[in-house]
Amino acid sequence: MRVVIAHCQVDYAGRLTAHLPMALRLVMVKADGCIAIHADGGAYKPLNWMNAPNRVSERENEWVVTNPKGETLTITFEEILSDSAWEFGVDPGLQKDGVEAHLQVLLAENTDAIAQGLTLVRREFPTDIGPVDLMCRDADGGAVAIEVKRRGDIDGVEQLTRYLERLDRDPTLRPLRGIFVAQSIKPQAKVLAASRDIMCVEVDYDELRGIESPVLRLF
C-alpha cells in the first residue's frame, strides 16, 4: 500500500463532475489499484475514489487516474509532506459474525434458496484480494460468484464488484455473473447492483434454519 499525505486538489470527470479544492489530504493507493482520497474526518468513507482496474499516469505534481469507462480522477499536488509504501501481503479476510457466518453455511447447503439450479463449487472461493463467500455453477454451467451479508448495503455491492473484476480474469470462470444475498438489502444497494448486472436476493434466516415464520401467510 502506498500512502501520500499532501496538499492537493482532486477533480473527477465522468458521469458527472466533482471538485475538491486544495487542502491537506491523505491519498491511499491499494495493491489492487484502488485509489482513495481521505480527509481527517468522515469516518471510513473517502471523499473521492477510483476503483480498480484503472491506469495511473504520474506527472510532475499531478496524477491522472483513468478507468476503462473513460472516467478520470486528476489529483494535483501543491506540496507532498509524506510518500511511503508498505507490502501488506495477503489479508486473511474479515472474520464474520455468528449470524452472517451461519447464513453462509446454510446457503451453501441450500443453494436453491438463492436461485434454482445452482450447484456449489466451493465456499470462501479465493481471489487475490480476498475470498468470495460462495462460488457456484448454474444449470447451464456458468460460474456464479455470491457474496453473503446479514444486511446488504452499497459497501457489500462494491465488495462483490471487486471480486467479480478479479475473477473475470480467469478464463475458466468466464462468463461470470454475481449475486448479492442478504436478509435485507437497502434500496440504494439494489440500484447500484442493477447498474452492474448483479442480481439481488433477500433470504429469511429463520426459514433457512427450519424455524416457521410467525407471520401468517395464505400459502
For residue 96, the model assigns a pLDDT of 56
pTM over 0.85: no
pLDDT above 50 (res 47): yes
CA–CA distance, 163 with 58 (Å, rounded to integer): 27
Domains of the chain with bracketed CATH:
2-85 (2.70.180.20), 98-208 (3.40.1350.10)
Q: What is the mean pLDDT of residues 7-26?
A: 95
Helix (H) or strand (E) holding 65: strand 62-66
Which residue reads 469516518 in cell numbers? 43
Helix (H) or strand (E) holding 149: strand 143-152
- Estimate the crossing angle of helix 154-167 against helix 187-195, to 10 degrees: 20
CA–CA distance, 172 with 82 (Å, rounded to integer): 42
- In tens, the pLDDT along 101-119 reads 889 999 999 999 999 999 9
DSSP track, 20-60: EEEEEEEEEE-TTS-EEEE-S-STT--SEEEPSS-EEEEET
For residue 2, the model assigns a pLDDT of 94
pLDDT above 90 (res 80): yes
